[in-house]
Amino acid sequence: MEFGLFGLGDIRVDVTTGYTPSEQERLLANVRIAKHAEEAGFDVFAFGEHHAQGWVSSSPATVLGFIAGQTSRITLSTAVTLITTNDPVRVAEEFATLQHLSQDRVDLMLGRGVSAETYTAFGQRPEDGIALAVENYALLRQLWDNDVVTWSGRFRAPLRDFTAMPRPLDGKPPFVWHGSIRSPEIAQQAGRYGDGFFVNNLLVPIDFYKRYVEFYRSLYAEHGHGAAEDAVVGAGGAFYVRARSQDAVDEYRPHFDGHDLYRGQDLDLANRHTGLTVGSPAQVVEKVMATRQAFGPYRRQLWSADFGGVPEKEVHRTIELVGEEVLPVLHKELRATPAVA
């Protein structure tokens, strides 16, 4: 099982100090976080994509390429790449390039996005989100799987005898995860192609997503990719970790209470039932094992550590503690404990 961090690139005021980092500070902070994650024993660093004021994550391939040149082991991914508003030709070529430069340390998570403004900025309609995701991914697969592509569809100009360059490294495209919050069509797409299905959960009870994971697993098996228990499931969340759980709660509460995404939510309830873990190393282990019981054997767990204005120095404290006291325990527990789907 892989464990990693993901950055969303949000620029938020630190409610404890009133300081707001600059765009450059946020970008370079994510580079430092990725490098520290590799040093601490994490397996993955992922970076999101947003096109709105208050975010610095408009070009994840650029950020990951910069990180690739300063790391040697960690897998670099996205969280997410917008398959709806990005041209599939551009996605195919950007990530094949990154695959070559990173020595095959790249995969990507595809998603639809949550902002209507992003669709309009790229000349698309939010109501076409599912159709765009399905059509654009079908083209992306062709561009990676076939040396020459002739294609026509609903949302972009036709292609005739086109070759995306560079070709995937050694003829094997980067692995694809389909990220979803609430769309059964995306689970269906992942199962059809035999790709990964990633549930990113910052707010919703874990049990809510169990039905989507089970649906994906059934389709994975139905399409002949293997047994349902072999389907490639990933889960996301967020954490803030201290040696004493009460210290973690006391330090994180101002960030939780001050974030509009969490408005109306109760920290203690979210901590018990969602993908958010604010507490001790033992509580992080407990949450992962509970997620495994709900979802069955899953392959990748990612956490956001800097979401909502948490200052970088506190993120590094969490990385150090999790690397020392969580990851070794999880690897041992997972070897010893069978999962129940």
pLDDT in tens, 118-154: 999 999 999 999 999 999 999 999 999 999 999 999 9
User: Residue 305 phi/psi, 5° resolution?
Assistant: -110, -10
209 contacts 275 by C-beta, under 8 angstroms? no
Residues of the chain short of pLDDT 50, as ranges, are: 341
Strands 159-162 and 149-151 turn out to be antiparallel
Asked, for residue 281, whether it belongs to a domain, the answer is no
Cα Rg for the chain, rounded, in angstroms?
Answer: 19
Residues 135/106, Cβ–Cβ less than 8 Å: no
Amino acid 263: pLDDT = 81
Residues 6 or more apart whose Cβ sits within 8 Å of residue 36: 316, 319, 320
Instruction: Name 128's bridge partners.
Output: none
Contact assessment for residue 105 and residue 95, using Cβ atoms and an 8 Å cutoff:
no
CATH code for the domain of 119: 3.20.20.30
The reported pLDDT for the residue numbered 340 is 54
In angstroms, the CA 328 to CA 157 distance is 50
118, with CB counted inside 10 A (0-12, 13-18, 19+), is: buried
pLDDT one-digit tens code per residue, 11-23: 999 999 999 999 9
Has residue 286 been placed in a domain?
Answer: no
Does residue 50 fall inside a structural domain? yes
Let me know if residue 299 belongs to a domain: no
How many domains are contained in the chain? Answer: 1
Tokens of 237: 């969340």
Cis peptide, bond prior to residue 174, ω within 30 of zero: no
Residues 6+ apart with CB under 8 A from 255: 15, 16, 240, 308, 309, 310
The predicted pLDDT at position 339 comes to 59
- For residues 237 and 240, what is the distance between their CA atoms, to the nearest angstrom? 11
Query: pTM of the entire structure?
Result: 0.95
Q: What is the DSSP string of 126-139?
A: GGGHHHHHHHHHHH
Task: Kindly state whether residue 322 falls inside one of the protein's structural domains.
Answer: no
Is position 193 within any domain? yes
Per the CB < 8 A criterion, the answer to whether 44 and 2 are in contact is yes
The contacts of residue 38 (CB under 8 Å, 6+ apart) are 45, 71, 72, 73, 74
Q: Give a yes or no: residue 333 inside a domain.
A: no
Residue 327 falls inside a structural domain: no
Domain that includes residue 211, residue range: 2-237
DSSP 123: T
Q: Which residue has the tokens 């282990």?
A: 285
Beta strands in 11-158 (DSSP E): 44-47, 75-78, 81-82, 107-111, 149-151
